[in-house]
Structure 1
Amino acid sequence: MNLLAPEKVGGKIVEWHSCLMAKDIESAKAARDQALIAVEKMKPDDKMLAYYQLISMRHDLLTNQKNTTEWNEVERKTEEYLYFMYYYVSGQNEFLHGRYKSAIRTFKIAERLIEQVNDPSEKAEFYQKLGISYYRIDQYSFASSYIEQALEFFEKQSLYKENELVCKMVLAAIESELSRFDSAESLFKELIELSKPYPFRRGLIFYNMGMNRLAQKQLEAALSCMEQALSIPEHARAINGIKSRFYVANIRLRLGLAVADLSTIETEIKKLKLDEFSARSQVVRGLYLDNDLALVESGIKKLEDNQLFFECSEVCEEVAQHFELKGDFSTALHYSKLAIAKKKHQTIMGIEKSLSV
């Protein structure tokens, strides 16, 4: 059975919590049933389970008129913490659906209540999530600040090594996108060593290291990283395994090497509804296989329609380089200008970045 992401389950609990805050008992009962079904299918997550249990207790007390005194006491003790959880979990749900600016707005409300959180690990995880959200919309100063706050805790705690890996991976990605490639490479190499006990994270680190090298147009080195990522079963089986396979095909085509059937990868991308990679595959097919500029334009438009301007800029740079190598400098110049124009949109709209965490 495919288990539900805790963030998705949290969305159901938030709906239930909203009904309780509105004292809408009938709607709360229906929302509780939906939340219970979701919790039973949830991936293990102690924090989300604790949130569910607190809301369940509030529901029981609110609907039992005999416990008015007990209800008031519980409400007084837990109200501000539960408001924190309400906005924190709401932000997680927004993040899960790629609505990063909305996630940040919701997280910032939660941040006002952070003093109600007594557990330092919970605070650190909150700062980590807020930092990643800022990264997603290119606000690197804010992203680094929150990630470093989280890292200050995680580095001192042996139980949170995976959180440490995630934080350092985000910092490495920021260095890469600021064109500080040597610094990014150094961080990624450190992460390769640290991630040996964590194969899933290790696969993601190789993937993101490959993206750093791809940004520098080090195609052979990028290909090696993607292939190393795919050699790890935990990565190959995950959704990011499909992304790595796409980049292996993409890079091999750019290098003029034989490539496995792209159609199989395209079918999996379509099945998983990966809009970004659906658009990218159109560009790749149009550019290297079908010699169809209309297909390239269609892929670029799909990225624009989804407001994936960072990815659109990357693709346009690739198209420009392709035509430059062919000696078609007029077309190359057109796509170079388009890449610059799309890059200017990065800080305006929330976008889905290439970093995978």
Structure 2
Amino acid sequence: MSGQIPAVIVGSKCVEWYSCMIQSDFEKATVLKHELKGMIQEMEPDDKVIAYYNLLLFRYNLLIQTPQSNELIQEQGLEHSETEPYLKYMYYFLKGQYEFYEERYTSAVRLYGQAEKLLDQVSDHYERAEFYMRLGNGYYRINQFTFAVSYLNQAITIFKTDKSYRNKELNGYLLLAAIDSELGNFERAEARYIKALIEAQDYPKVHSLILRSLGLNRVRQNKQGEAQSYFEQALKTGNHEHTVVGNKTKADLAFVHLRLDDIGSAMPLLVEVDRWLERHDNVEYKAKRLIYHHLYIERTHGQINEEKINEGINQLISHELYFDASEMAEELSRYYEEKEQLGQALTYAKLALQMNTKQNQLGSVDIEKSK
């Protein structure tokens, strides 16, 4: 029909839209989203372009963290995209991102592994870098640090060739520093964080994440006062306070106050965190909230409800969040050691070791399944 927009023009606009998403240019991505919505309605029939558009729409919704259902891809007919190699790549890549946002990290890595088999269909270097960054982050989340570092370095190498991807490069350094921190290389992590912090002045989102990470690095060293300062700075930077990660920072700051025996300062933050958790099913922070509540706030005649503490630990374990369970067990071990309750301290020290072993086994199984 005359007057219809050629599919090739809409496809080109889709590529531009995806480029904005990779660069995290939210404002321009939103403008293009609305522009493309109108173009798709007036486009000449082309199933491939429509499938690509639907995949990118799913990616956009993930980017702005719009609530999704796991069936959305199927509802939009995106399962048919598997007939085209590039769309099949996008299908697995975006499903992997959905699993990641839902904190099902092992499932995310498996799906990324399927996408990686089709990576030769991706010609754009920066699109490949985005994939490497996502996969590296996935391996980081399941404690497979060797694989994580390899993929993150590949992503950084590509992103650093274009200044417009500077925020992505900094995010890569942020993840490398987080790995150092979790491995106990606190000084090396600190050096990475400080260098990135100086370079991130023009990127408020990244800047706030680095401040948050510096706080977490201090928590792992049991330097609670310093952690408090960094968390407070993060919450005052950009719009961090109003983001999903910002709510995690509020929770972490509240937990610091509890460790410092300042329940009065913790409670207003916990009220905000509870409101957030009512709207978002975040297993990690729901479990930690339960543990800290019964460790520091809710006691009967000074006695801790061990069943509730273990309930929180088991929530982490049942969702395969073994690293978080390990960190929590290590903290509980230190807590009981300071109270001279050595039996309990030993119990949680053993649990921390078991969780580390579980994490390594889980990662190994996941790698095999993704090959």
Query: Normalising TM by the smaller chain, what interval?
Result: 0.7 to 0.9
Residues 1:339 and 2:345 aligned together: no
Deviations 1:157-176 (A, max 9, x none): 10101110111111111111
Aligned to 2:213: 208
What one-letter code is carried by the residue in structure 2 that aligns with 1:177? E
Could you tell me which residue of structure 1 aligns to residue 164 of structure 2? Answer: 159
Q: 1:274 to 1:108 in 2, by over 3 A?
A: closer
Deviation at 1:156, TM superposition (A): 2.0
TM-score (norm 2): 0.71
Q: 1:321 and 1:221 mapped to 2: Cα distance?
A: 19
C-alpha separation between the residues in 2 aligned to 1:41 and 1:232?
Answer: 24
2:298 to 290, 295, 301: 290
1:303 aligns with 2:316: yes
Aligned length: 296
Residue 252 (structure 1) aligns with: 257
Aligned match of 2:331: 318
Q: Measured at CA, do residues 281 and 170 of structure 1 come closer, stay the same or move farther in structure 2, by a change above 3 Å?
A: same
**CA 1:330–1:80 in structure 2 vs 1: closer, same or farther (change >3 Å)?**
closer
Mapped contact 2:136–2:148 kept (Cα < 8 A): yes
Residue 175 of structure 2: aligned partner: 170
Partner of residue 11, structure 1? none
- Tell me the alpha carbon deviations over residues 132-162 of structure 1, each in whole angstroms, 9 at most, x when there is no partner: 1111111111111111111111112101011
Between the aligned residues of both structures, percent identity stands at 35
Whether 1:227 aligns to 2:232 is yes
Q: CA deviation at 1:209?
A: 1.6
Q: CA deviation at 1:223?
A: 1.2
- Cα deviation for residue 40 of structure 1 reads 12
Runs of 5+ unmatched residues, structure 2: 1-20, 23-46, 65-72, 364-371
Distance in 1 (CA, whole Å) between partners of 2:149 and 2:105 is 16
Deviating above 4 A after TM superposition, structure 1's stretches of 4 or more consecutive aligned residues are: 34-45
Instruction: Report Cα offsets for 1:267-307 as digits up to 9, x if no partner.
Output: 32232222211111111111111233232122112222222
Q: Distance in 2 between matches of 1:98 and 1:136?
A: 9
After superposition, where does 1:13-162 map in structure 2 within 5 Å? Answer: 35=54, 42=61, 79-162=84-167
C-alpha distance 35-259 of structure 1, shift in aligned 2 (>3 A): same
Q: 1:112 to 1:37 in 2, by over 3 A?
A: closer
CA contact (8 A) 1:242 1:269 kept: no
> Could you report, residue by residue, the CA deviation over 1:170-193 in whole angstroms, capped at 9, with x for unpaired residues?
111111122111111100001111
Compute the RMSD of aligned alpha carbons.
3.2
Deviations 1:51-84 (A, max 9, x none): x9xx99xx9xx9xxxxxxxxxxxx9xx9433333
Q: Kindly indicate whether residue 184 of structure 2 is the aligned counterpart of residue 185 of structure 1.
A: no
Could you say what secondary structure the match of 1:348 adopts? Answer: helix
2:276 aligned residue = 268
Structure 2 partner of 1:12: none
User: Alpha-carbon deviation of 1:97?
Assistant: 2.8
Instruction: Say if 2:93 and 2:111, in contact at 8 Å, map to a contact too.
Output: yes
Instruction: Go from structure 1 to structure 2 and tell me whether the alpha carbon gap of 1:137 and 1:229 turns closer, same or farther (over 3 Å shift).
Output: same
For residues 283 and 169 of structure 2, what CA distance do their matches in structure 1 show?
30
Separation (CA, whole Å) in 2 of partners of 1:106 and 1:41 = 19
- Whether contact under 8 Å (1:270, 1:278) holds in the other structure is no
Q: What is the TM-score of this pair, normalised by structure 1? A: 0.74
Counterpart residue identity of residue 276, structure 1? E
